[in-house]
Amino acid sequence: MKTINTQDLAQWLDATLQVQRFKDYCPNGLQVEGKKQISHIITGVTASEALLQEAIRRKADAVIVHHGWFWKNENPVVKGAKKRRLALALAHDLNIFGFHLPLDAHPEYGNNAQLGLQLGLEPLRDTEGAPLTCGPENLVWLGQCPKGRTLKVLADDTEKALSRKPLVIGDPSHKPNRIAWCTGGAQNFVDAAIEHGADLFITGEASEPNFHIANETGVSFMAAGHHATERYGVRALGEAIQKKWGVRVEFVDLDNPI
Ligand SMILES: [Zn+2]
């Protein structure tokens, strides 16, 4: 089994995901330092206690997630659930890597790129092939809906692709043409989608105003699950690490209905 130096992996991840480009509200990269050598990595959506326990059970050396720790808006005091998570990582010398916005935005491994592949959405691209994006930090992708499909069919396809029933606001017989999407809790980015001519906006979560805005603008809205829309970026990143370094990488999907 191949092994990689923790610092080498950290540097490669920071460079590949262009971490320095983002103003984020958590640290991106190595968040908790563990073993100096890594041969087995677990990837998952969130560094929850359950994911850590699973990584320890599988004897992993590192965990790479989209939702890591140390968010700016949280209480920094180490107690309760936070203490238990940190204690587990330190007791087992587990490296914890977290990549938030850089892993939403990456043109190949990113959550938005990977959700587009899952749902068969064709991204609009500029002359150099880069995806056309809009909204805060350019996180909202723009694309073309699969031709001739109604909102009802798109909702059914999404349910099949993500194994979760989406919340859909809009006329089921409407055939959207331009689509905008952003994974996770991006329901407030709907304004950018509307400004850029989208007929349908897909994100992970919904808030109360989304119902009224969809009805008043005629731009359909779909909330397909925060977890469900953000499984695919970290999984693709793990596959890229395995290919590049030859270390063992396993994606662990612990279901979350939100
Ligand atoms: Zn998220």
pLDDT digits (tens, 9 = 90+) for 95-127: 999 999 999 999 999 999 999 999 999 999 999
Q: Which token pair is 5?
A: 């130096």
Would 10 be classed as within a structural domain? yes
Note whether 224 and 236 are same-domain residues.
no
Q: Which token pair is 110?
A: 């990113």
Note whether 11 and 47 are same-domain residues.
yes
Rounded to whole angstroms, the Cα distance separating 67 from 98 reads 6
Note whether 19 and 93 are same-domain residues.
yes
Note whether 91 and 109 are same-domain residues.
no
Task: Specify the long-range contacts of residues 103-106, CB closer than 8 Å, at least 24 apart.
Answer: 103/17, 103/66, 103/233, 103/234, 103/237, 104/66, 104/139, 104/182, 104/183, 104/184, 104/230, 104/233, 105/22, 105/133, 105/137, 105/138, 105/139, 106/16, 106/17, 106/18, 106/233, 106/237
Domain count, the chain: 2
Distance 8 CA to ligand 1 centre (A): 26
The pLDDT value given to residue 146: 85
Distance 45 CA to ligand 1 centre (A): 8
pLDDT by residue (tens digit) across 122-145?
A: 999 999 999 999 999 999 999 998
* Structural domain that includes position 28: 4-103+231-251
147 has a pLDDT exceeding 90: no
For residue 141, what are the contacts with CB-CB under 8 A and spacing of at least 6? 112, 113, 116, 121, 123, 131, 132, 133, 180, 181, 182
Distance 101 CA to ligand 1 centre (A): 9
Distance 66 CA to ligand 1 centre (A): 7
Find the CATH number of the domain harbouring 134: 3.40.1390.30
The average pLDDT across 151-169 equals 97
Would 30 be classed as within a structural domain? yes
The pLDDT value given to residue 1: 79
Note whether 21 and 50 are same-domain residues.
yes
The average pLDDT across 18-28 equals 94
Distance 226 CA to ligand 1 centre (A): 6
Which residues fall inside 5 Å of ion ligand 1, going by CB? 184, 230
Single-letter code of the amino acid located at 221: F
The pLDDT value given to residue 188: 97
Note whether 75 and 128 are same-domain residues.
no
**Which helix (H) or strand (E) segment is 226 a member of?**
helix 226-229
The average pLDDT across 149-178 equals 97
Rounded to whole angstroms, the Cα distance separating 141 from 131 reads 7
Distance 103 CA to ligand 1 centre (A): 10
Distance 214 CA to ligand 1 centre (A): 22
Note whether 179 and 221 are same-domain residues.
yes
Distance 99 CA to ligand 1 centre (A): 10
Share of residues in the chain with pLDDT > 90 (%): 98
Note whether 179 and 208 are same-domain residues.
yes
Note whether 205 and 114 are same-domain residues.
yes
Rounded to whole angstroms, the Cα distance separating 223 from 184 reads 9
Distance 234 CA to ligand 1 centre (A): 11
Share of residues in the chain with pLDDT > 70 (%): 100
Give the DSSP letter string of 77-141: ---HHHHHHHHHHHHTT-EEEE-SHHHHH-TTTSHHHHHHHHHT-EE-B-TTSPBPEESGGG-EE
Distance 230 CA to ligand 1 centre (A): 6
Would 257 be classed as within a structural domain? no
Would 118 be classed as within a structural domain? yes
Would 258 be classed as within a structural domain? no
Distance 185 CA to ligand 1 centre (A): 6
CB 230 within 8 A of CB 213: no
pLDDT by residue (tens digit) across 179-235?
A: 999 999 999 999 999 999 999 999 999 999 999 999 999 999 999 999 999 999 999
Note whether 99 and 150 are same-domain residues.
no
Note whether 111 and 69 are same-domain residues.
no
Distance 231 CA to ligand 1 centre (A): 10
Query: What is the band of 250 on the pLDDT scale with cuts at 50, 70, 90?
Result: very high
Distance 64 CA to ligand 1 centre (A): 14
CB 98 within 8 A of CB 66: yes
Distance 2 CA to ligand 1 centre (A): 31
CB 252 within 8 A of CB 55: yes
Note whether 81 and 92 are same-domain residues.
yes
Would 143 be classed as within a structural domain? yes
Would 198 be classed as within a structural domain? yes
The pLDDT value given to residue 164: 96
